[in-house]
Amino acid sequence: MSNAVIQVENLSVWYPLRSGVFSHVDRYVKAVRSLSLSLRKGEILAVIGESGCGKSTLAQALVGLTPWHDGSYSLFGEKVDVKSGASWKSAREKIQMIFQDPFSSLNPRQSVSEILCYPLLTRGFSRFAALEKAHDILEKVGLSSEVLEKFPHEFSGGQRQRIGIARALMLSPKILVCDEVTSALDVSVQAQVLKLLDELRKSLDLSLIFISHDMQVVKAFADRVLVMYLGETMEEGSVESVLRSPQHPYTRALIRSIPTLDRSCPPEILGGNIEPLPDDFLGCCFVSRCPESIDACRKKNIEMHTDGFSGVRCLLCAK
């Protein structure tokens, strides 16, 4: 796709599980399984799914914080060599991550000045140039330069998340991966942080991957949505079309679980839990919880039918 700022093909991330006295790897958690996605310039792509479906692993893989088992990756049309530290160092000048928890993601022993300047100093910038950039970025995230000599514990959750956003912007990336960035914040602060992200997106010409489990926030904030289950994409498409007419049974279940103001229509919670699949599993990964499953859903792996913008992985929707 010509205007894609991110192009991921068949990303797999496996976490090794070790056991025994010699810590042998005897199994893997396949947290992301052959997932492909693209992000267009200026777009906000939401990634949604229940806890444990692989959203944070996907986010970390996109910025090189977790190793890729397999897959290919391009940023702005340039290939990232996912096995090379040097390639990741240059990729992080284009793509940065903001973390879920503003309390644990900032080193409590570093001042804001140290936190913000570090990525520039490791790239050979002078202390003066790094501080000048820090002043500029702090203004953009709505904080004064007085915070530079303070430490993370001196701030509220919302202020810490602004510092997390400032840190992500220090290398002037054009893509931000936001992993549940408002879920640890009070509702009123959540709205302020979302507003700030949207303003920054416009003023700095950013594109965003926006990970969330909150469908209401996704509806208000994102352009397109990718629904994940057990490390795979179940459905993707414009927020409007996916929420108005969800094709995949899992998307429908997620939408039915949203509380509404209508008391005659209480939320329906999807039964069962996300359970890891055995290695020899064949069929649709959602089959054990799917209210619409048929025998054929257990007999072969289900392909994702997508044009890169919208698509669905369900036997009942196959064209």
Dist. CA 181–CA 104, nearest whole Å? 12
Assess 253 for contact with ligand SF4 (CB under 6 A).
Answer: no
**Sign of dihedral through CA atoms 155, 161, 165, 170?**
positive
Binding flag, residue 161, ligand ADP (CB under 6 A): no
- Complex with Mg ion: residue 97 or 112, whichever CB lies closer: 97
| Per CB under 6 A, 64 contacts ligand ADP | no
Shortest Cβ distance from residue 256 to ligand ADP (Å)? Answer: 20
Q: Does 292 interact with ligand SF4 (rule: CB under 6 A)?
A: yes
**CB nearer to ligand SF4: pick between 198 and 292:** 292
Residue 163: which of 147, 187, 183, 185 has the closest Cα? Answer: 147
Shortest CB 157 distance to ligand ADP, Å: 19
| Contact status, residue 233 vs residue 36, Cβ threshold 8 Å | yes
Helices (H), 105-248: 112-121, 127-140, 157-169, 187-204, 215-221, 239-244
Do residues 233 and 239 make contact, with C-beta atoms less than 8 angstroms apart? Answer: no
**φ, ψ dihedrals at 174, nearest 5°:** -105, -5
Residue of 29, 243, 304, 317 that binds ligand ADP (CB under 6 A)? 29
Stretch that binds ligand SF4, among 86-94, 180-188, 265-273, 289-297 (CB under 6 A): 289-297
Smaller CB distance to ligand SF4: residue 212 or 293?
Answer: 293
- Length of the chain measured in residues: 319
From the CB of 302, what's the least distance to ligand SF4, in Å?
A: 5
Which spans of this chain sit near ligand SF4 (rule: CB under 6 A)? 248-249, 284, 286-287, 290, 292-293, 297, 302, 314-316
